[in-house]
Amino acid sequence: MLRKVHLVFIVMLVLGLTLTAPFLLMATNDDVDKGLDMMLAADAIGGVKAKGGGRLLVFIGPYEPGYVLRSKGVAEVTHPTTGDWCIKPKASWKVGEVVPAVSVEWSYSSGASLLAYWRSDGAGCPEGYIEVYTLDFSSGTPVQSDNVAFTVVIP
């Protein structure tokens, strides 16, 4: 009987580690509570609001495509390719007439030689979307990367 209990315990332990390992292995620059933030991110566009006076505010983490941690004025975030993000504002302004401020966010990013920048022509996104590229320079040359958390603000 004791062997059966041990076997059941070992099987449950292995299954638990197998299911949680991907989340435990995601290294970031700071020790952040990924579990809590992943639960919050599920409804970020419609639920977790960013506070501030901007017309559009969005904080995107690197864990999975479209991982929105906080947002305001954002209808949708898509991720067509590695390091390429498309952000659709809720408002119907002409995207070509806005000037977003884009910045790398340190705590959720993985690496030190990172860059996030706005592409004014938005060529990689559908019309009406703001395009952001994320890059990693750690190899000495820029490589598009999904390990970059970033923020976008349109005042």
12 burial level (CB within 10 Å; 0-12, 13-18, 19+): exposed
Q: Which helix (H) or strand (E) holds 81?
A: strand 74-81
Please state, for a pLDDT cut of 90, what percent of the chain lies above it. 39
Instruction: Give the least confident one: 11-25, 59-73, 95-109.
Output: 11-25
Distance CA 123, CA 120 (A): 8
Whether residue 14 lies inside any domain: the answer is: no
Whether residue 17 lies inside any domain: the answer is: no
107 burial level (CB within 10 Å; 0-12, 13-18, 19+): exposed
Overall number of domains in the chain: 1
Q: What is the pLDDT of residue 45?
A: 60
Distance CA 143, CA 134 (A): 8
Provide the pLDDT confidence category of residue 119 given band limits of 50, 70 and 90. very high
Q: What is the pLDDT of residue 94?
A: 84
Distance CA 105, CA 150 (A): 5
58-98 confidence digits (pLDDT tens): 898 876 644 788 888 899 998 899 999 999 998 888 888 88
Whether residue 19 lies inside any domain: the answer is: no
Quote the domain boundaries for residue 75.
29-154
Residue 49 per-residue DSSP state: B
Range picked from 4-8, 10-14, 55-59, 82-86 for highest mean pLDDT: 82-86
Q: Which residue in 53, 40, 134, 147 sits closest to 87, CA to CA? A: 134
Whether residue 54 lies inside any domain: the answer is: yes
Distance CA 86, CA 96 (A): 14
Whether residue 21 lies inside any domain: the answer is: no
- The mean pLDDT value for 129-149 works out to 94
Is the dihedral angle over the CA atoms 70, 81, 128, 154 positive or is it negative?
positive
